[in-house]
Amino acid sequence: MGETVAFFALAAFIIFGAIGVVTNRNLFHCGLSLAAVLVAVAGLFILNGAEFLAWIQVFIYVGAVLVIILYAIMLSENISGERIRLISQNKGIGFVAAVCVFSLIASLAFTVSGLFPPHTSTIKDPVLSLLEGAKSNVVVFGILLLTRYVLPFEFASVFLLVALIGALVVARSAE
Amino acid sequence: MTVGLSHYLILSALLFSIGVYGILSRRNAIALLMCVELMLNAVNINLVAMNRFLQPDWRIMTGQIFAAFVIVLAAAEACVGFALVIAIYRNLDRINVDQINILKW
pLDDT digits (tens, 9 = 90+) for B59-90: 888 899 999 999 999 999 988 988 888 888 88
Verify whether the Cβ–Cβ distance B78 to A125 is below 8 Å. Answer: no
Report the alpha-carbon distance of residue A130 to residue A72 in Å, rounded.
44
pLDDT, average across residues A131-153: 87
Q: Is the ipTM reported for this complex over the cut 0.85?
A: yes
Chain B, residues 82-101, CB within 8 A of chain A, namely 82-87, 89-90, 93, 95
User: What per-residue confidence (pLDDT) applies to B6?
Assistant: 85
| Contact yes or no for A86/A26 (Cβ under 8 A) | yes
Report the alpha-carbon distance of residue A38 to residue B50 in Å, rounded.
19
Verify whether the Cβ–Cβ distance B93 to A79 is below 8 Å. Answer: yes
Chain A residues within an 8 Å CB radius of B21:
22, 94-95, 97-98
Q: Which are the contacts of B102, defined by CB distance < 8 A and separation ≥ 6?
A: B92
Residue B99's CB is within 10 A of a number of other CB atoms, namely 11
Q: pLDDT per residue over A71-127, tens digit each?
A: 888 877 665 555 666 667 778 888 899 999 999 988 887 787 666 666 666 677 777
Verify whether the Cβ–Cβ distance A86 to B31 is below 8 Å. Answer: yes
Q: Which of B3, B30, B83 sits opposite A27 (nearest CB)?
A: B30
Q: Which are the contacts of B101, defined by CB distance < 8 A and separation ≥ 6?
A: none
How many CB pairs below 8 A link A and B?
241
Enter the pTM of the model.
0.88
Verify whether the Cβ–Cβ distance B9 to A64 is below 8 Å. Answer: no
A9, closest residue in chain B (CA to CA): B11
